[in-house]
Structures are given as structure tokens and as C-alpha cells.
Structure 1
Amino acid sequence: MTEVWDRWGTVLTATAVAVPVVVALVWALARRRIRDGADARTAWRRSAAEVCAVAGTLPWLWMVLTPRPAASTVNLVPLSDLAALFTAAPTTIVVQLGGNLLVFAALGFCLPIRFAIPVAAVALVGAAGATAIEVLQYLFDIGRVSSVDDVLVNTLGAVLAALLSRPWWVARTWAARTQPRRIPVG
């Protein structure tokens, strides 16, 4: 655990310090929306979802785009990195698998709450974001492994988080899909 703190303590500390700022942003954004005439419940839900999606994803992006003193590699063989991971020490498995599941978890949790989109759309956003990260890791040559498995696990994390947030969005998603679209006239 000391190794994890040594490597990521700065990110974790910055994240903890940012919590009051995040709360203040949610409050300010919701108050502005209410002042502009939005329903209070909708204003708070949208504000919390938007701010938490960004604030919950940025620390993970910081972590996965931090350079390491190693040669960058690419692995395009699906599930090979995961198979190799399960031969590692339990701490390594938890850190690697857990970290990759959490990269887009906040985004996956918040997207359907904010935009009333289905889980399949969250999966597409997660896969696109994860692919972008792996390409950036390779292009910037920051000493990381760019892997198809990371894309799969990052996407799975977004989807699982979206399913966890289901009580807050399922009724709205269904209503959005079943209501007729209104086309503005004029």
C-alpha cells in the first residue's frame, strides 16, 4: 500500500482537497439554474451530475496520463493482459483491475442521470474515452502499456457504474423514449 501512496499520493490529496470546491460548484450551478427559472429538483440533479462526472473522472485521467520511467508498449490481443494480470500478486490485481474499472465510473454513473441515455450509449462513450486514453498514452510515449484490455475494463467500469445509478435515471430514460418528439414550428 505504501507503493500506491508513493505513486499516487499527490493525486489523492489533490482530489480530497477539491471536494469542497466540487460541492461549491454544484451549489453555485444549481442556484444559477433555479434563479434562471429551472425546477429546483432538476437543477440540483443536473448540476450534481455534470460536476461529479467531470470531478470524478479528472483524477483518474491524471493518473493514467502521468508519465512513468519505462518504455511504452502496445498490446492489441484481447484478454492477454488480463490473463497475465491474474498471475500477479493480489495487491497488483486489485490496484490494476480496480483502477481501470474506476477510470470512467463517475462518468458512467452520472451520464444517464444527466442526459437520460441508455446503458448502451454509456458503453459507447466509455469505449471512446478509453480508446482515446490508450492512443494518447502511445502517442505521448509516457512509459505505459496501451492495451485493448484497458479499453474493455474501462468500458465495463462505466457500464457497471451506470447500472448502479439506475434508480436515478430509469424512469426518466423510459419517459424520454416514449414521449413523442416536438418539432418547433416557425
Structure 2
Amino acid sequence: MGAAWRDHSTTIIVTLLVLPIAGVVAYRWRRRSRSRRLALAEVGLVCWTLPFIGMLFTPQATPRSVDLVPLHDLPSWVSGSPDTAIAQVVGNLMVLAGVGLFLPIRYRWAASLPRVLVLAAASAVLVETLQWVLAIGRVSSVDDVLINTAGAVLAAACSRRWWVTEKADPERQILPVP
């Protein structure tokens, strides 16, 4: 975790400061509107996801590599120091968690776990492919795809009660899923 903090501490601190401020601004901006929840979902989606994408595309001073064997990298993550295990597992779970958490809240078409799973898997594959193509010294791994996707699906399951639904009241206010 020390390496993650050393390489990305500024991004982490700025994100932790900007996310709540942006949420308050969006909430107050939409104060008179019935779409405060949607504004908060938009802010959360952008402010959560962009810092992780920035971290994933930070060049490393190592040669690029690819690991296409499922569950091959995961044991090395957890067998090392606890700091490395936490940084790798939790960090990879969080990469697309914002997408899983906020996308179904904001968009009706994304309001199902299978759709979140497909979208997250496709996004994770795209990220890993770009890391390899851009040759930025990252390991492109199937395990990253699996853990990133799992993080998005778990986050989506946690936000399910706030998803956009088909039903709307006469004033077009979106109701939460029961």
C-alpha cells in the first residue's frame, strides 16, 4: 500500500476532497428540481471513476506484460505483504465500483445486475487492452478484469434500492425499487 500511496497520494487526497464538495454543489444546484438524486449520481460516477482511470494509466518504469491465465495473479497479491494485498484487492474492486454504484441510479437501461456485469467486464477488458497497447509498463491481467467486474457488480447490488425504475409518479418523479 506504501507504493500506491507514494505514486497516487495526490490523486487520492484530491478525490476525497472533491467528491463531497462536488456532491454538495450538485445537490444545491438541483435543489428546486426533482432530479437531485440524478445529479448526485452523475457527480459520483465522474468523480469516482476518473481518478481510478488516471491511476490505471500512470506509466510505470517496467516493461509491459500480459497474463491471460485466470486467477494466476491473485495468489501473488495475497501472499505478499498485507499492505500489497489490501492495495491490490481493494484497489481493483474500487476501480469500476463507481460505475456499478451510480450508473443504474442515473440510467434506466443500466438498472440490472446482468447489464452492469456485461458493461463492467467490457470496460475492464478495454482498460487492460489499452494498458498493453499503450505500453505504459503495466501488467494486463485477466485477474484485474475479474476483480474490477466483481467490484462493479457488488457496488451495483449495494445501490439497488435507488435504481431508476420503469414506474414514475404523475409529476414524473422517479421512484426507488421496492
Find the partner of 1:104 among 77, 96, 106: 96
Amino acid at match of 1:10: T
Query: Unaligned stretches of 5+ in structure 1?
Result: 35-39, 177-186
Question: Does the alignment pair 1:139 with 2:137?
Answer: no
Aligned to 2:77: 85
Structure 2 residue corresponding to 1:48, chosen from 28, 40, 43: 40
Q: Is the Cα–Cα contact under 8 Å of residues 122 and 158 in structure 1 kept in the other structure? A: yes
Cα deviation digits, residues 73-118 of structure 1 (max 9, x gap): 0001111111222221111111001000000111110111112310
Query: How many Å separate the matches in 1 of 2:117 and 2:49?
Result: 15
Residues 123 and 158 in structure 1, CA contact (< 8 A), matched pair in contact too: yes
User: Which is worse superposed, 18-27 or 52-61?
Assistant: 18-27
RMSD between aligned residues: 1.9
Total equivalences in the alignment? 165
Contact 2:92 2:144 in 1 (8 A): yes
Residues of 2 paired with 1:4 and 1:111: CA distance? 27
Identity %: 42
Q: Is the 8 A contact 1:22 1:55 kept in 2?
A: no
Aligned-residue offset at 1:17: 3.9
Q: Is the 8 A contact 2:120 2:152 kept in 1?
A: yes
2:61 to 51, 57, 69: 69
- For 1:16, the equivalent position in structure 2 comes to 16
- 1:121 paired residue among 115, 119, 126: 115
* Segment drifting more, 67-76 vs 107-116: 107-116
Q: Verify the 8 A CA contact 1:112 1:119 in the aligned structure 2.
A: no
Q: Which segments of structure 1 move beyond 4 Å, counting only runs of 4 or more?
A: none
The one-letter amino acid of 1:115's match is Y
Which AA in structure 2 matches 1:9?
A: S
Q: Which structure has the larger Rg over C-alpha atoms?
A: 1
8 Å contact kept, 1:105–1:160: yes
Q: CA deviation at 1:22?
A: 4.6
Contact persistence 2:22–2:43 (CA under 8 A): no
Counterpart residue number, 2:49: 57
- Which amino acid in structure 2 is aligned with residue 90 of structure 1? P
